[in-house]
Structure 1
């Protein structure tokens, strides 16, 4: 069982941050269609701060399991938009699972998809079908919880579920959040929060794959 130390957990955060930075313009365009076009910047900046704060904490000797609480504070401080408290809650929920652990078994990290889904749902109160990031996190969490399969297979299924959930938001009318004011006019547009959630899950899968049995780049 491969154990990831604090520096390796920060590397996972960095993989996600890079993907979101690459998608900054695309996510902004999606948000511009039904929001105020700041989602790409918010997510990229938020995860960049997660990486910076996580790296500083790891250098000070913070345990791998405690980096999720560090990430929660960093994201919330960096992002004042709606996604700030939602992802802060997600990181805090994951942090409860691993608190105090010097290292984290790579095979256990797919479980954070469920933790993120629970934290976001508890804070935001959205449900699948509301045209939000929960249309990605909820089905991905179900896929990642299939105990009969290995961790890499669960992550693969989570990515497929995330992409399906993201694409499904195109046919939904927003009922919560800022996009709800557009109602039926939000039809035909992918929800930006769902799009960024799918990016995070795919990046998590790719960052963890080399550490898992049968993993590959």
Structure 2
């Protein structure tokens, strides 16, 4: 079954809920190695996204992702706003009115590549790339093996969750956490964790399709 605009809107609704639910958790993670505002920023950003989508009718996935991107860039502080905004812009460029498994994998790959380019980051530096990059690989592998859209998103969400967990023992070499050096080890990266929640929301939205 192809995914369409209804899936995008459900995904956004569930992402907004996830930002609200995990606000304090993400803020606590960021307090340990960052500026202690990631949860608050993400919650504020997706609340603004919800308001923006309710005020202006969205014709298709591309327009919806573009609206989300512009809103996150303007409302989310720190590095997360530009990075997530870029991810959603790339989703907009790759989106189609009806998306099959290969299209979904291509979208996740585009988002991951956008984050890496904007942040000039690679895997292993303790950033959200450590969730998005493995998610992209897993999605591509699932699509190539014949999985449907839900299967692709299951693979991506699982890989993102594992990738986020793997940041626990990493030493940050990029962003605010890098100032701590070796002391950044032993803490999960908040951007990677929140990214895993966003991809889990995408899966849950597809499960309801």
Q: TM-score, normalised by structure 1?
A: 0.88
Q: Determine the C-alpha separation between the residues in 2 that align with 1:166 and 1:125.
A: 18
Which residue of structure 2 lines up, in the alignment, with residue 188 of structure 1?
A: 186
Unaligned 5+ segments in structure 2 are none
Counterpart among 74, 79, 83 of residue 82 in structure 1: 79
Deviations 1:125-178 (A, max 9, x none): 111000000011000010011222322222212122111111111110100100
Runs of 4+ in 1 over 4 A off after TM superposition: none
Asked whether the 8 Å contact 2:3–2:206 carries over to 1, the reply is: no
Distance 1:164 1:2, change over 3 A: closer
Worse-superposed segment, 40-49 or 121-130: 40-49
Which residue of structure 1 lines up, in the alignment, with residue 119 of structure 2?
A: 124
How many matched pairs? 205
Instruction: Give the C-alpha shift of residue 30 in structure 1.
Output: 0.4
Instruction: Give the C-alpha shift of residue 44 in structure 1.
Output: 1.3
Which residue of structure 2 lines up, in the alignment, with residue 214 of structure 1?
A: none
Are residues 1:172 and 2:162 paired? no
Asked whether the 8 Å contact 1:126–1:134 carries over to 2, the reply is: yes
Q: Determine the C-alpha separation between the residues in 1 that align with 2:80 and 2:94.
A: 22
Deviations 1:111-136 (A, max 9, x none): 43222101111100111000000011
Asked whether the 8 Å contact 1:57–1:70 carries over to 2, the reply is: no
**What is the RMSD of the two structures over their aligned residues, measured on CA atoms?**
1.7
Which residue of structure 1 lines up, in the alignment, with residue 158 of structure 2?
A: 160
